[in-house]
Structure 1
Amino acid sequence: MSDNTRSWFIVLCLLSAYTIPSSSDDKNYAKSLLKFKQSLTNPTMLQNWKEPLVDKLCFRNTPIWTGCLCLNGSFIGLRLEGMGLQGKIDIDSLSELPLFSFSLMHNNFSGPFPSDIKKLGKLRSLYLANNSFSGEIPDNAFSGMKFMKKVVLSHNLFRGKIPMSLMEMPRLVDLQVQDNLFVGRLPDFWQENLTVNFSYNNLEGRIPVKLSNQKASSFIGNINLCGKPLDPCKPKNSALKISFIAAAVGGFALAAFIIILLICRRRAKPLQYVKSVDMEKPSYNNKHETYKNNEHGKLYFVKNDNERFELEELLKASAQVLVSGSFGSSYKAALHSGKSYVVRRFRQMNNLGKEEFYEHMRRLGRLSHPNLLPLVAFYYRKEEKLLISHFVANGSLASHLHGNRSPNHPCLDWPTRLRIIKGVARGLAYLFKELPTLTLPHGHLKSSNVLLDGKYEPLIADYALVPVMNKNHAQQFMVAYKSPESTQNDRVTRKTDVWSLGILILELLTGKFPANYLRQGRGPNADLATWVDSVVREEWTGEVFDKDMNLGRHGDQGQMLRLLKIGMCCCEWNEEKRWGLSEAVERIEELDISDDDDYSSYASEGDLYHSSREMSDEEFSFSRA
């Protein structure tokens, strides 16, 4: 049993000790859930939350609506993890529910902590990790929540002091606030059997005695914390002793200097002061304070033709949180020069030593292709790394396919989608050519890593990072490790990136997100290739294509079908039967939006399907062994 599964099992066991609400009110709960859904943006994963309302939210321990938690046929909470959700958390609608457990981990929520969370008086477990929440948490945020057992706020941008109302929870057994920007001293927690994690904040002072039996890893990354289990705190009078010693040494040094000066009779040259490029930068009391007292204090620019700026200027720039994902947070930083950059912060990037890391980044810096997002600079620190690239204002392919429609984000028509996939194929082919020694020249090819410039030309991002990522983290989150050969045989090959290209083609044509890329990926599109296969087998090929594309011309439909075939051949489960990249790129380049080929004579969806079976180049393989 995995740690995550075990954690949820324990929560459910704990809940079973309490009175579970009756299922007779499930219809009212469903109304409240619909009200809560209206406050969210991008709730595409909650499609089955809709009218007509269900009479029961649970069948035994199985939820009827996505994300509901059930125990013995009763609704007890929400687990909405990894769904791309954002917007406002409507606590008032949730207060009408019997919530024992509430999780929004691995989403895109931002803004302040929902201070009225204390209205959820029955809550036992709260999980808000891996979002972009920011600002200070009010001191009384958890007042009155006497049943709370687990509070998980890690991997956000919370700052200020740790709220004292956490001390008012007599049943608290698990507190995780690592990877934030909390400051000040640790509260003197008193709860028995409490497990904590305060690592990678800006906390200071002596660790309370009650917490001294915790693991040292629960406190690392706070350079001003001391005491067991970390290094002992220095005596209070140490600063005074040091000042006396420094004064004495200074006096001897001054006397020696005067003697030498008299001997040399002014022959010494004037001292020249040189500014060190490695000197420490001053710390700032904002969300970037994490980087104070850094090891090297400078950015390394991979090319000579880029605008130069220092880390200090980057940290002072106005910043906007773009996303907080499985690899870390991304910020948009606007410099005084008018240019904007994206700063990506990585913690799970310690697979290579310093020199090897520098060499790999310099290697990536030498890459240059119209369809690659170039690396501008990087920052090295043992605990974390920063990768800096240009800001692309038009967003990602994923945001255009799956985000909310607006005048600034019109629907992508077929010619635009074909141009995008051609650019992606060319960029991927360039990576294969320039990085011949890498098993995975990209490794993480997906729609959110395809950015679009003002003319909707694609720029591939986050390429060639597998060598520097921690292996366990890469295998858990990177797209290449969702491939059949990885999930079934625990290996990847050069054709694994081709599989990712195939899934991207299917996503672009269908408009459906491949849910298997999420940690908790479930649903009808979890394996997008299998879903496409099942639809085409039933001779409903026209139902595969995204209706937002212009489907009016049969010539276009013929080209779409050709690209559909290419996509299926690229993500063939049998690796030996899967196309190589060169063949896939060649076939993609042959596509032309103005080509009114023989497919224009086919009027029905069934004819479109049968025409694919008559292609002379190679049998359209749908096998999924």
Structure 2
Amino acid sequence: MEVLHAFILLVTSIFSLLSASSAFQNDTAALLRFRAEADPHGRLLSNWTTTGSGGGGDACSSVWFGVQCLNNRVASLSLPSLNLRGPIDSLSSLDQLRILDLHDNRLNGTVLPLTKCTNLKLVYLSENDFSGEIPQEVASLRRLLRLDLSGNNLEGRLPLELSNLTRLLTLRLQDNAISGRIPDLSLYQLNELNLSNNELYGRLPINLLRKFGPKSFLGNQGLCGQSPFPSCSFTDFITPPAATASAGTVPSNPSAFPSTPIIFSGKNSRKGLSHGVVVALVVSNSVLVLVILSFTFAYCCSKCSGGPNGECDYSERKRNSGYNSEKKVYASNVGGDSDGGESNATDKSRLVFFDRRKQFELEELLRASAEMLGKGSLGTVYRAVLDDGCTVAVKRLKDANPCARKEFEQYMDVIGRMRHPNIVRLRAYYYAKEEKLLVYDYMANGSLYSLLHGNRGPERIPLDWTTRISLILGAARGLACIHTQYSSSKIPHGNVKSSNILLDKNGVACISDFGLSLLLNPAHAIARLGGYRAPEQAETKKLSQQADVYSFGVLLLEVLTGRAPSQFQLSAQPPAGEEPPADDLPKWVRSVVRDEWTAEVFDEELLRYKNIEEELVAMLQVAMVCVATQPEKRPSMVEVTKMVEEIRVEQSPSREEYDDSRNSLSPSLATTEEAV
């Protein structure tokens, strides 16, 4: 018996070891499948390999990036903000996974596969493209502490099974398309709940409102209850609002209707409808028919009259929308597209979005009220206000037609992948042979150019030093991000100038027009783009990241001097009150510094403030390094950003430090007004 018992223990141990070995090999295989789908080029997860110097045969012994193990099993996977794509089905076999952090990527599909990872405790999947419903199987994640699915495209109802997650501390589901009523969740450990900006309706459970406050539920138009939400009517307890009902209908509650039919009878009119009710029904039905006919007539009138090739005549719409004669958008069946049949008419008539939230149709863009903001070397920019009040910037590209559809879409993908707080976000694009539109986030506070050079005169509000350096730092960080992300392919911005440094609603500087240089023939790009050109570009006729650094140095000089580089580029005669000995801004600054008249370099608005001399000179030194005539002597944008960050500026000088003499650096300085 003892021998038999020992044999059984031996066999059990062997099977346990084989099972464990198989388990962590399965973890490795699962992660490799995930990599193949999420990072097909292997650039982001380059050390996820079972071979090579760091490879030890599995994910745990190889110390893969973002992977942590416990007892030779994958216990943590943390890969935020890497632009990963694809579904997460391959992760379903990681049954020992405790922590999953994949927020701020472009992952898609459903979250159902995660319900098989029953040991999960922390799940962070915000800011992705997940869709579908929150599955009822979420109840299997009994150990879950924090669940963040915000900023996705989830829809459907909140499953009551969420109440089974008794250990849950955080539930973030804001910024989705979740609909239906909010169940009375009995999650006593929950201390953070956010359901804002969804499509929820009906009565808000009072216990949830009292515990988490109204901010957790704002942005759901159909919710009612206590203030600040509207009071609930009787129908709020029975049916959802029409705006959120499926397919435009309101599901009825059978219990709200009588179980026996209504009989019209002259002898017993109390059992039927009164004459007043009958009249009201007839009138209401007549009004409904008139409304339907009106909408039908309006829709037919708005349709195109039909050109010879089936094209639509949008001339009237163009006049009404504010795009004037500049706007020519083919909304359906663009004729003459010879891209080899790459897409049908339906594909050609739609906007392609990089973010599934806040999408709209091309027709909505055509209906939008719009105003022209300006014309540049690459096209015309409009400010468009959609029907729902959302404001976007639309750039209508000019002469970008040589790009075929496939090539154009590849370039748009490069631009659309860029996500940085100091880079203007490309939201969508539209492609047709005759028309190409780019839709950006609208920057409400204009450009750095207008802040520096607009309304120069006695009534102008000076642009203080703190604001200038913060805008420069933001632009530097955005440009450094572009250079870093595309360091291997050396993709430049190609059009760095003050009019391309835009300010959002919070006054944050964002660099715009990234990637548009890719649409141009390299031989023509230098001539077409209006950025500040580096000396070597006169011969090479090429854009480069080193040339971007030179352009940024000119931008720094523009901020420091208050003088537009175009003043020196377009005219051999110096502006009034100025005596530049050269034909461009960097040469003029070098000559002034060489003659030891450094004070004359700086903008007179800056000279009105005391105690900033050292900071001005330090920034001037950074600019001069950037505009070195030899490209190899220029620093990288990452190094430039660090230099600017090291110039500490607490705040702009106060009114008490304001110097009306305006010559705190040089007694010989003469202002423009005095010289004139």
* TM-score, structure 1 as length reference: 0.49
Larger radius of gyration: 2
